[in-house]
Amino acid sequence: MPVVELAGVSKTYENKVAVDNLSLSIEAGQMFGLLGPNGAGKTSSIRMMMGITIPDSGCVRLFDRPFERESLDRVGYLPEERGLYRKMNVLDQLMFFGRLHGVAAEDARKRGTDWAKRLEIADALDKKTEELSKGMQQKIQLIATLLHNPGLIVMDEPFSGLDPVNAALVERILLELKDGGKAILFSTHRMDQVEKLCDSICLINDGKAVLSGRVREVKERYKRDHVIMEFEGDPAFLESNEVAEAKNFSGHAEIHLKPRGNAQKLLHEAATMATIYRFEMVEPSLEEIFIRTVRGSNHA
């Protein structure tokens, strides 16, 4: 049963088509990456999912029912632009957001305190939001998103503003939530995180879905035309006729073969010029797939 489903959803602002016939669905216990360049339509899609804006056509379903505002009590939303009351006490603020989602006041206080301890910001609870650093505000926003124990968690750029230590902490929490059966959707530009965390992705460009599916399946669609080499000697073989593009980092090279490039020929040429320590054919990274797909769709 999909927790959230968009079916042929479109949205146009003035003369700009923000989302064009987009369809996707996310199951419980699934982490879903919504990807795309700036202005592709990610935030517009999320806003329709959250009922902030209404689609011009198509339909949004939450928890296997047509969209209704009552369902939003079971959704946690972390927007791209963080929004907290600056002058408000942090715990009061968390309780306020919890109560908006139907959590009783005392329960909201307890959950807010527990989450703050978990995220190592318990000291911030009795402060005003404006007194906190950007990273701490980010964590407060995350607690406000999760406080009411939502079945669907929607996050627009959840890692922006977090240092690597805190980003790792949030990653761990998201994986735990996923294991606990929550459906999680997030948009990001960080492809390494998508590869690490997501089960499925949807890449949108100019409002259209240009690539979607399970991460493994998506990657398997691309043939192994990448070579990682470690060598010592003359790097002239990197200009071989078999090579489309190569990056050399002092003996460590990342090579993209031409469409009909022959890896065996390249290895033979390299062996005549340098000592080869590693020659490995790898699948393209999600980042490369992203760039190639977006470029391809722009040229189409």
Q: Which is nearer to other proteins, 82 or 226 (CB)?
A: 82
Position 182 contacts other proteins (CB under 8 A): no
Position 102 contacts other proteins (CB under 8 A): yes
**Dihedral angle computed from the Cα positions of residues 72, 78, 81 and 86, in that order, rounded to the nearest 10 degrees:** 90
Q: Which is nearer to other proteins, 65 or 69 (CB)?
A: 69
Whether the CB-CB separation of 115 and 140 falls below 8 Å is answered with: no
Beta strands in the chain (DSSP E): 2-13, 16-27, 31-35, 57-62, 65-66, 75-78, 152-156, 183-187, 200-205, 208-214, 226-233, 243-249, 252-257, 274-282
Q: Can you read off the two tokens belonging to residue 228? A: 């990682």
> Which one among 1, 38, 65, 83 touches other proteins, defined by CB under 8 A?
83
Give least dist CB 112 to other proteins, A. 15
Whether the CB-CB separation of 50 and 14 falls below 8 Å is answered with: no
Q: Which is nearer to other proteins, 42 or 47 (CB)?
A: 47
CA angle 275, 278, 281 (to 5 degrees): 130
Please identify, among the stretches 2-10, 69-77, 185-193, 198-206, the one whose residues bind other proteins according to the rule CB under 8 A: 69-77
> Which one among 88, 263, 267, 291 touches other proteins, defined by CB under 8 A?
88
Q: Which is nearer to other proteins, 148 or 178 (CB)?
A: 148
Q: Which is nearer to other proteins, 156 or 225 (CB)?
A: 156
Backbone phi and psi for residue 180, each to the nearest 5 degrees, phi listed first: -80, 5
> Which one among 2, 29, 37, 51 touches other proteins, defined by CB under 8 A?
51
Please identify, among the stretches 31-39, 51-59, 211-219, 227-235, the one whose residues bind other proteins according to the rule CB under 8 A: 51-59
